[in-house]
Amino acid sequence: MAGTPKRKGFLAKLAELLPLGRKRTADPTPAEKPAPAADPTPAAPAAPPFSLDQLARRLFHADNTAAALSDFATHVDKRLLKGEPVAPLEAFLAHALIDAGVNSNDVALPAMTIIRPRTSGLFYARVNEMEVPYLALLHVLGIEAALNAAHFITMFYGEEGPATEAEAWQFAHRVPASIISQMAEPTDADRRVHEALIAAEGNPDGEWAVRRFISLGIESFQLPWRLSARFRVNVAGGDVAFEADLTPLNLMWRRTSIDGVRVVPTTSEMQRRSATDYNTRLAFVLASCAFRASERIQRVWVAGTIDTAQYHSCLYSVCFDRERFLELDLSAISDPVGVLRAFDAVLDEQDGMLHRVQQSFTLDDARFCPPERFEAPEVSTRMLSEKHAHALGTASVSGLGIDETIHRTALAREISRHLGDSTAENVAAILELAENDSDPAVLSAAERTVQKLIAGTLEDDPLAIIGEFTEGDDLTSLAAHARTLLEAHELEAAAALLGAQLPQYDETYADGTSVVWRVYTTYVSRVLANRLGIDADKTVLLAPAAYLELLLMHSVSLYLLNRNEEALAVARRAHQVAPLEAQAQQHIVQCLDACGRTLEAVDELKDLLSHAHDAVSIGFGFYRMAYFQWKLGNVECAQACYLRALRFLPTVVTFVAPELQVMALQGQNRLEDISDAAIDKLLEEHGIPLAPTLQIAEIFSEAMRAALDAEIFPVAKSFLITLGTLNRDDVCFGVLRSLEDEPDR
């Protein structure tokens, strides 16, 4: 039975490992306490209490986190030098931070923020710079580890902390040896939690549930040093693969306590052996998590790698089989290197140190990443199971298609492989591959390309030929021309060109009684359209994306020329062609506002928010709704809309802040400390949908799981990217990163 990753199970193991400084028990009752002996020597002044949580709050709100950490360590060190009383945990943390390089002059520390993710409760140093020198990154990781060591000590000893700094260092050295114990046999409580997860996820052995379980585990593990691990999953094949970034040797603790009384420097040999012992134990933590994710997982592959400023190295790689791994007593592994060797691991350990080896697998291996997962939905002949068909709103994978150029592009790649050095060879290759194709767009592309080659207006260059075949049609050329005119602000010319040329395409892509033409810019919008039944009982054909672009450009050019009613009519046509694309509907709102039809604009925005599903459309939708509510005199509702817009699209703060200030100047009080529930109530009172609505959220969740479990990865990636921007959840991003890139074809 699988279980959830345990957060604190290793503390009990630590209590067994520590010969000194065991977890404190409650003081005896007053009746039990012996009378104090007379002591003429005055007691030493007690150290002021130290709270790690208070320090964490100061760091979180600090303008310069690196400076705040340096000030803390320096201040404590000076107090110690003066002989002033210092709490043992405070002294430990100050020295650990100094060893990590908080006061180092060799490289500047980057701007960072100290946070504590809910999944693990550990400290995480989020770097706020795009590029960081390797040495500075090591300092950051060391600082993070020092804070987490203090956190573990507090968990074990309680708020009072250890009796001495030596006890704290002794404890810090015991933590790495205990990390596997958190993956020991799950408790009944763990099983109940996991059963609840299964009920929520649907299929416990699907790609989604397994990947989410592993991603959650990586984010939840209680580890002294940060773990970064990439993974791949093939549930059907029974394989999971990890590449884990091992902890560098120079991050190992530089102080220790041999006897629990004195603090002494560690030797280089101690650091080597500590790094090897800890890094090899990580393999068992990861493998255990994968095996517990699903009983269908039969093999777990783990590679431990090191990246420095100069090189990338693999220090070990191993394949654990389920049968033998489950026989291990995870709470009693004293020689992790020996156990790895028993699994025929590729490793080279000498004098307590791991050396470079050849990695025995890669994350891109087909056994982990079957290439058929990235088959384009548009050309797929697969049928879906009843469950997946319901979740995705279509019985076939092709019913998820969004790109009408896929077949033409694939054929163009095939043509490129047969092109020669002469016009005759190239014409023959194109005709041979395209003449029997049933797609009218392919036949048109072939005819157009061949005619230009024969006429000499197209060079016998492979890139030019493929470009003409895929993008040389009249519609794409018209869009490029119109785009150029708009960029040059030649509005009259753009409006005239599009007004003259668009009617023929409006006729081509006009809806019939049983057939409709649609444009979808993402797989998410296609699935939502399927599930919402927007074109129920109709055959949906894919119109070119360039057609939608032409409609939007025409509407915009008319709007900028103050021809608002005409612009509105074209915008409505764009919305008809792309019913779930926010851009078209937002432009309808803009045109209605310009026409003075405020209430209609509000209704249009409500419709938009009723099916909005991504952060940009939701955030911008609430931002625009705030403007209209303010305009209608509904000030509190306007403020609630502004606050909800900020929740999904923080970047609108530059627009929201001045508008809220104007409200204040007009004597309209800003809502202070309003709860999310109060915001939602205000919106509901005005009939404004709480995007994403419950209906959209349920459809989204079902479809995302189904796309991943059915291994339709182009669709699954679209959902995960959208979800990641909505909730900014590390577990979700972990699942997204576990999806391999599309293989080269």
pLDDT tens for each residue of 283-306: 999 999 999 999 999 999 999 999
**What is the structure's pLDDT at 6?**
43
Q: How confident is the model at residue 2 (pLDDT cuts 50, 70, 90)?
A: very low
Q: How far is CA 204 from CA 22, 198, 720, in A?
A: 40, 5, 19
Q: Which residues contact 69 (CB under 8 A, 6 or more apart)?
A: 59, 97, 102, 143
Structure tokens at 708: 């991943």
Helix spans in 456-518 (H): 462-471, 474-487, 491-508
Rounded mean pLDDT of 612-641?
Answer: 93
pLDDT confidence of residue 195: 61
**What pLDDT is recorded for position 99?**
97
Angstrom distance (rounded) from CA 86 to CA 79: 7
Res 219: pLDDT: 95
Q: How confident is the model at residue 420 (pLDDT cuts 50, 70, 90)?
A: confident
Rounded average pLDDT over 95-119? 95
Is the model's pLDDT at 133 over the cut of 80? Answer: yes
Residue 201's pLDDT is 59
The residue among 597, 571, 565, 567 whose CA lies nearest residue 586 is: 571
Does the pLDDT of residue 8 top 50, yes or no? Answer: no
Binned at pLDDT 50, 70 and 90, residue 5 comes out as: very low
Instruction: Supply the mean pLDDT for the chain.
Output: 90
What confidence category does residue 418 fall into, taking pLDDT thresholds of 50, 70 and 90? confident
Residue 396 DSSP code: B
pLDDT higher than threshold 60 for residue 335 = yes
Q: Which of 580, 579, 559 is nearest to 569 (CA)?
A: 559
Question: DSSP character for 541?
Answer: E
Residues 243, 363: contact at Cβ < 8 Å?
Answer: yes
CB-based contacts of 456: which residues, under 8 Å, 6+ apart? none
Tell which residue, 246, 237, 209, has the closest CA to residue 365: 237
Lowest average pLDDT, out of 204-213, 269-278, 735-744, goes to 735-744
Q: What are phi and psi of 673, to 5 degrees?
A: 50, 40
Q: What percent of the chain has pLDDT over 70?
A: 89
Instruction: Pick 625 or 202 by higher pLDDT.
Output: 625
The DSSP secondary-structure symbol of 123 reads: -
In whole angstroms, give the CA distance from residue 328 to residue 621: 55
Determine the pLDDT at residue 190. 55
Asked which of 343-347, 394-398, 403-407, 497-501 is least confident by mean pLDDT, the reply is 403-407
pLDDT value of position 408: 87
pLDDT at position 716: 97
pLDDT at 25 over 60: no
pLDDT in tens, 707-731: 999 999 999 999 999 999 888 889 9
- Distance (Å, whole) CA 717 – CA 734: 12
Residue by residue, DSSP assigns 225-261 as S--EEEEEEETTTTEEEEEEEPPPGGGS-SEE-SSSS
- Give the separation between CA 666 and CA 339, rounded to whole angstroms: 73
What is the three-state SS of 27-53? CCCCCCCCCCCCCCCCCCCCCCCCCHH
pLDDT the model gives residue 3: 44
More confident residue, 185 or 615: 615
Identify whether 692 is preceded by a cis peptide bond (ω within 30 of 0): yes
For residues 470 and 473, what is the distance between their CA atoms, to the nearest angstrom? 8
Tell me the per-residue pLDDT of 74-96, one tens digit each, with 9 for 90 and over: 999 999 999 999 999 999 999 99
Domain residue ranges of the chain, discontinuous segments joined by +: 198-355, 479-583, 597-745
First to last CA, the chain: 40
Rounded to two decimals, the pTM is: 0.89
Structure confidence by residue, pLDDT tens digits, 161-207: 899 999 999 999 999 999 999 987 665 555 555 566 556 656 889 99
**Average confidence (pLDDT) over 580-593:** 97
What pLDDT was estimated at residue 27?
Answer: 41
The pLDDT value recorded for residue 26 is 39
At residue 436, the pLDDT reads: 81
Give the model confidence (pLDDT) of 649-670 as tens digits. Answer: 888 777 777 776 676 666 555 5
Both tokens of 100, joined, read 């990590």
